Chains A and B, each alone.
Chain A
Amino acid sequence: MSTKNFTQLYQEWQAEVAKRLEKTPERKERFATSSDIEVDNLYVPQQIDDAYMEKIGFPGEYPYTRGVQPTMYRGRLWTMRQYAGFGSAEETNQRFRYLLEQGQTGLSVAFDLPTQIGYDSDDPMAAGEVGKVGVAIDSLEDMETLLQGIPLDKVSTSMTINAPASVLLAMYIAVGEKQGVPSQKLAGTIQNDILKEYIARGTYIFPPQPSMRLITDIFAFCAEHVPKWNTISISGYHIREAGATAVQEVAFTLADGIAYVEAALQAGLDIDQFAPQLSFFFNGHNYFFEEIAKFRAARRIWARLMRERYGAKTPKSWQFRVHTQTGGSTLTAQQPDNNIVRVTLQALAAVLGGTQSLHTNSRDEALALPTEESARIALRTQQIIAYESGVADTIDPLAGSYYVESLTDQIELKVLEYMEKIEQMGGAVAAVEAGYMQREIHKQAYETQRRIERGEELVVGMNCFRLEHEAQPELHRVDPALGRKQTEKLAALRARRDNALVEQTLAQLRQGAAGSENLMPLILDCVRHYATIGEICGVLRQVFGEYRAV
């Protein structure tokens, strides 16, 4: 490399970009500031040396510090993907259509807790929870309603589903079949990250070992049948929400990522067969420059791990592609309109950090599920950043800032230290089983609470600049009769479907689960015949057992 000079390296990169632009041009013919200063696609130091190429490099090139795409937002903006879902499949379907009409570019489904934990709406454990934090899906019938009128070959859909991810993915594939869309064309993401459920989010069902098997079954199945699907979204988001620092968020997420890679390799998969389908999910938090540096550091660490340690050959395997959601726990119940400003700053940090897609939280999320108006303002926030601020006109604009580069290096260093520690404990699965990450996060959460109470950390409107009288905002309410309605729907379904066929497919699933074959085709068979999520997960619970927190 040292034989090549700056001009050569830079021209090579520009030539590569030009090739891409022949296929997909940039968003505008010319980018310029208000004073008509032309904005280049990339700004680089006067002298590019080995250290620059090794640590920072060009966008779309190893180690991807400046972004995973060579064109980044000059070519296409990030995907604006608002997480939504509540009540019945009908109501959520309406909200989805509304969001698509408003210019949203991808769907993101929130499921209610019974669905996330594999209970039918009529299960006693589901009491009070049906349709509350997301949409209630009991069977393929509800999924058909949810996606009615939404062309699955045109829209990409992200589903926040973990322990029963195979079941919901199978339902999505089955709806595609009914729409005449082959699984090869389906695009989207399932969260499918069980480790962070044990660490921070709490919607686990089975113990770690069989859970890891379900995940690697999905990897193998999708590599063959659903190649455009992101099979996992390895999530730091909830780890951060539970109280972790930026460094802990990156470290624990990447450690989880390594655990999935190891599990897939052990299941006999080739690294380049599944690694391109791995994706990540980060939190967009308050400390602006640290957040930006966090994304840059994570990309660099992951690329090096995948290429150097696991010998991945496909550049797609090296790329840390990430969805971001702004930090829900940073929102205050006091003076909720202030949250719009918090979300704006957090979203801006995620964009300057180079996220692939983004959810901006609504101002009222510390109080209830967002109203339609709040959800719209949240989406408009992204649109203002994208179309008015100009921050998307050049790639990685903060590269070369002494501060941001130094933060990037320091985060990388501290993350590697943490990952080393987890490695020594036997990897992320062992660390989770020992409760290590849970304790580290809790310690940090408690420390943060104390700092806020001592006034060392200021939260505007909460421990300073308070209002005597708070206005009561309009809130979104979920129909309390929904549990009963879902129960009636389930009873009708059970009376109508071919129950002998359901029994038969469930029996085959039971047998498969006790053995070692890939469970995805068996689960797909169950859902096609309208077995419910509670029935399917019930069979797996009997075979696998249930996880109890340490």
Chain B
Amino acid sequence: MEQKIRVLVGKPGLDGHDRGALVIAQALRDEGMEVVYTGLRQTPAQIVNAAIQEDVDCIGLSCLSGAHNELFPEVIRLLRERQAEDILVIAGGVIPQEDIPFLEAQGIAKIFTPGTSTKETAEFIRSHIKRKPLAFLEPPKKIAHIGIAVKSLEAVLPFYKKVGLPLLGTEVVESEQVRVAFLGIGDSRLELLEPLHPDSPIAKFLEKRGEGIHHVALAVDNLEERLAQLKASGISLINEEPKDGAHQARIAFLHPKAANGVLFELCQYPASEEARP
């Protein structure tokens, strides 16, 4: 499921002017973000509570009453107290230019003064949020390869030769205790996996399920960040950290229970390898 940037628009204090807050909330929604508007008269504590509960990436504060120097820093202080300072905080309203350095020093990332376009605000949020949701990682690019478990490479290679898939090479991957044969198919490959040791995962797979398709590997970028986000969104991982795979790729496996019994591998190729046709 695509995850959107989540923003909380808050009106701290007693100020009742919410034209700006409502307009920016609507504009950010139109920019594809999920926006929660707290309504009027929220204390800094209520705003911080709501932000944590709603798990937002950004808080936008609006104040036109002149109470900003008291109320905005209090929001920052409470976020720190709750260890939620990774939430980006921006603000707007009737804020004199001379107050901006103070507020920014307190931890407000940016003060938007009257006349700022809503696009500019949206762009700022996109480029400054500290927790990037999946929506802003590229989707997986292609099937990198399909892994097929075999008892003996030599026994099966003649079949693939007859089908016409070229053998690109073989490689021993020590970390998995396998010997791998790579067959080219367009931009993807088939990987034939032969166990090197009776205790290796492939040997166990063969024992339990026999020869056949073992896993599907997806080519991705930002592997580390992606794993963290998948984990945060409740997907179980076999490898929470990337490890070395064949062809200098960094790889990690998702747990098959996350995909109804299918084992998925994510692999990230070094830039030079990726450029390979």
Chain A residues with CB under 8 Å of chain B are 113-114, 116-117, 119, 124-129, 132-133, 197, 201-203, 241-243, 329, 332-334, 366-369, 442, 445-446, 449, 453, 459, 462-463, 472, 475, 478, 480, 548-549
Contact = CB atoms under 8 A, between A and B. Distances in A.
Contacts of B96: 367-368, 475
Contacts of B69: 128, 480
Given A128-B67, A133-B65, A368-B94, A446 B15 contact: no
A129 B74 CA distance: 14
B115 A462 contact: yes
A81 to B, nearest CB: 22
Interface residues of B, number: 31
Contacts of A367: 94, 96-97
A445 B13 contact: no
B67 A446 contact: no
B57 to A, nearest CB: 23
Interface in B76-114: 94, 96-98, 113-114
18 contacts: A124-B43, A125-B14, A126-B14, A127-B13, A129-B15, A129-B67, A133-B15, A201-B16, A202-B16, A243-B19, A368-B66, A368-B94, A449-B23, A459-B115, A463-B115, A472-B97, A478-B66, A480-B69
Interface string B20-45: 00110011000000000001110100
- Top 3 A-B residue pairs of the complex, sorted by shortest distance between their CB atoms: A202-B16, A128-B70, A128-B67
B71 interface: yes
A549 B22 CA distance: 14
Contacts of B94: 366-368
Contact of B65 (A129, A446, A459): A129
Contacts of B27: 446, 449
Contacts of A133: 15, 65-66
B18 interface: yes
A453 B119 contact: yes
Contacts of B17: 201-202, 241
A332 B14 CA distance: 23
A13 to B, nearest CB: 44
A133 B19 CA distance: 17
Given A132-B67, A446-B23, A480-B69, A453 B117 contact: yes
A113 B14 contact: yes
Contact of B23 (A203, A445, A549): A445
Given A125-B43, A368-B96, A549-B39, A332 B114 contact: yes
Contacts of B65: 113, 129, 132-133
Most A CB contacts (10 A, CB to CB) among B14, B40, B98, B117 go to B14
A243 B23 CA distance: 10
A124 B16 CA distance: 18
B14 A117 contact: yes
B118 interface: yes
Most B CB contacts (10 A, CB to CB) among A329, A334, A445, A446 go to A446
A308 B216 CA distance: 80
Given A453-B119, A462-B115, A242 B19 contact: yes
Contacts of A202: 15-18, 40-41
Contacts of A549: 39-40
Contacts of B118: 449, 453
Most B CB contacts (10 A, CB to CB) among A128, A329, A332, A367 go to A128
